Homo-oligomer: A and B are copies of this chain.
Amino acid sequence: MRFATIIENGHASVALIRDRRLLPLAIPDAGLDSVRSIAASGAEGLQRVREWVRRQPQGRYRSIDDLELGPAVPDPGAVYTIGLNYAAPGEADGARPQRPLVYAKHPTSVTGHDSVVTWDRSLTANVDAESELAVVIGEAALAVASEDAMEHVFGYTCLNDMSSRDPWLDGDQWLLGKSLAGFCPVGPWVVTRDEVAPEDLRLGCTVNGVTIQDDSTAHMRYSIADLISYISRHTVLRPGDLIATGTPARLAGPMGPERHLQPGDVVTVWVERIGELTTTIG
């Protein structure tokens, strides 16, 4: 199944996505009223959603173009991001960091598909987009082994890890330069884990149609299972928490590394079988 957050009259709720159609969920008395609450509800909750959806007439579906999408997971408890997690072409296994490099984006930075993101340029003028496959945690995970870790995945979404390139912004800690409002587009929806195998998905990023990243999740240095296990040994992962699994190298080419995001740029982060997440720079 695919779940999106929809915004109507300033109010966020959850909808099922099927092709280009959208079914707002209104499951009575079940507390299944957000992506996070569904992520927390386990197999039983998903079964309840499935049964409720089956009973809905076709007339209840709406066009996805009629509604504004919010962040796939609004106000997550945590957004963990992984640094240096894609191998360079031809790299030997030994080149990976001794442990995953884990840092945080502040949850208030999340925004949805088709957002316009702008910021105070006096804080930072040099900001890049980074395409990432994000894991949405389902059942809470504390000190889980790698071989059990995937049971704690609710689903997958696309995440644009917008990042300031000004290291002075926060003294080489990366928190603030990645946490400005809107610096974490997430969406357009969450695809549940039963629908997609994440081990070899193509993913990339375009700016104004020019490809700046194009790689495969097969080149992750630490697998999703290893990342969940590692983080869960240090801090509990809770339903709806996001793990952005790292970004591939930027391609040399028509848009070199010195070219940062400019007002008017249209950025699309995409992951095969998951979706395309578009952001306009304001």
A171 contacts B101, CB within 8 Å? Answer: yes
Identity of the chain B residue whose Cβ is nearest the Cβ of A238 in the assembled complex: B108
Q: Which residues of B contact A171 (CB under 8 A)?
A: 83-84, 97, 99-102
Choose among A78, A107, A234 the residue with the greatest number of B CB atoms under 10 Å from its CB: A234
A106 contacts B175, CB within 8 Å? Answer: no
Copy tally for this chain in the complex stands at 2
B108 contacts A181, CB within 8 Å? Answer: no
A264 to nearest B CB, angstroms? 23
> Considering the complex of A and B, which 9 residue pairs feature the smallest CB-CB distances, nearest first?
A101-B171, A103-B173, A176-B234, A179-B235, A106-B235, A104-B104, A108-B236, A104-B175, A102-B170
What mask results when residues 135 to 150 of chain A are scored 1 for a CB within 8 Å of chain B, else 0? 0000000010000000
Contact partner of A101 among B100, B109, B170, CB < 8 A? B170
Question: Can you spell out 16 A-B residue pairs with CB atoms less than 8 angstroms apart?
Answer: A97-B171, A99-B169, A99-B171, A100-B171, A101-B170, A101-B173, A102-B170, A102-B171, A102-B173, A104-B106, A109-B235, A173-B174, A176-B231, A179-B234, A180-B234, A181-B235
A233 within 8 A of B: yes
CA–CA, A101 to B174, complex, Å?
Answer: 10
A197 to nearest B CB, angstroms? 28
> Which secondary structure dominates where chain A touches chain B?
loop
A188 to nearest B CB, angstroms? 24
CA–CA, A107 to B108, complex, Å?
Answer: 14
What mask results when residues 85 to 121 of chain A are scored 1 for a CB within 8 Å of chain B, else 0? 0000000000001111111101111000000000010
Which residues of chain A (49-84) have a CB below 8 Å from chain B? Answer: 77-78, 83-84
A173 contacts B173, CB within 8 Å? Answer: yes
CA–CA, A233 to B179, complex, Å?
Answer: 11
Q: Which residues of B contact A107 (CB under 8 A)?
A: 77-78
A103 contacts B170, CB within 8 Å? Answer: yes
CA–CA, A233 to B124, complex, Å?
Answer: 11
Choose among A98, A108, A231 the residue with the greatest number of B CB atoms under 10 Å from its CB: A108
CA–CA, A231 to B170, complex, Å?
Answer: 10
